[in-house]
Structure 1
Amino acid sequence: MAGQVSEMDLEIVLMQAMTAAKNIRPQRDRLLQLRRRLEQLSLSPGDDDHAGRIKKLARDLFDVYYIGIEYGARTLLTCLKLAAEGGARLAVNFAFATMPDEQLHDALVAQRLPARPTTQTEAFSRVEVTLHAVKVLQDHHVPRCIEHLVGQRPPIVGERRKADPSDKAQDADTAVDLDKARDYLDRAITLADLAVKHIDLAVAVISRFLDPKEVTSLSHFTDETTYISEKGPYPSD
């Protein structure tokens, strides 16, 4: 059928989508854990090692977006590329690609979860939305959180998607403000949670076009091969 990926090509596409889903979920959970640590730091400003704990939190946040979720973002790109090469009809939302980060955040949150997808095209649209959500939190919200924790913007993964007039230069000093850091982290977690829901739906719909045994096999394979973090299991502190 025109606009649909063949079963043979769809297997590798689904593998990429499954891999992204299994990478993004633990990164979302890690951000939730780090928010709890930030809340604890906000309640104990007089702690003897307060500054050291803030730096450790910033370092762990850096690992999530620069090392952890970067793998998921690249896998999402690969998923869409392979789908297009396989003949998929992609309903790309070009407006999302040109929005400033904060406007895109609001648009993604307002969209929430549209009607449940039933076609390959609708499923791939969910993959695209997942990618936008991941890139905004990776390129903007988590780095801004770190900036307000330690007073300086950390490096961004690769080149920025687009210029955002609200951004400050990376080498500019910023006042440390735990409340603002918490606000940016809250926004990042909102997008991460949306990304998890979108990619899970995409995987479920794409799976319907394949033999259930093959889907089960791909699921087991991605359980074993998905990259979570080169740091290994995240600490529980």
Structure 2
Amino acid sequence: MKELDQNVKTLPSWRGDGKKVLILATSPRENGNSHLLAQSLYEGALEAKHDAVITMISPYVLQLMRYCGDCRDEEGNCGLQDDFSKIFRSLYQPAEAVVFATPIWWYGMSGHMKNFLDRISCEISARNKSGIQAKQDIIGKKMGLLLSAEESNFACRMPIVAQFNELCRHLRCPFVGHVSGFGNLRGEVSKDPLDPLGSARKLGHDLFDIEETDYELDSERPHEVWSVDRTSLPNYWR
């Protein structure tokens, strides 16, 4: 597995071949359970010949979201002193699929993940000279979610999945899959008998073969779900 080292401050880069998949590990606990899920998805993406990049965000995104009017520079760029803008512009914007991996903290996503999502607002603001292009770039990506939790209670992950689903809907990004793994001690998710690591690997492999369907009352759609000429896969929920 690819080791994640939060002491290394060099951002990974795209190789240049295959569909671009960005995996953001949002826990500061190096090689913890959500990281193992992220690494497994990364391996599956590589098996499918995608151009996959995996990185922790805690060494780079150091500042909390603030009132943007207080810290923008003259060109509208974020004035907070960390590497969020580098991650967003060099990795998030070009990615064709983005997968977030987070532990469940107090029945919600990690603060690091929420802060990352909050700070996207500054990059796509009309006051930012590159904001219009950035807004266009983040629409339509395939999106996935990996969760690790101590509790197997289904309800504890429902609010996070619902919030993430609404985010994807707002951005017109297909929410193609979610994997939950259970464990508390570092690496314990590998003992989960439902094999979430295998599920994450499969999701990484199949990201671009999954087609989300979300019909409205008057949507035109075939009556037959599994027609002989259908090649796409359904949303992946594990």
Q: Choose between structure 1 and 2: higher helix proportion.
A: 1
Q: TM-score range by the shorter chain?
A: under 0.3
Q: Tell which has more relative contact order, 1 or 2 (C-alpha 8 A, sep 6+).
A: 1
Q: Choose between structure 1 and 2: higher strand proportion.
A: 2
TM-score (norm 2): 0.26
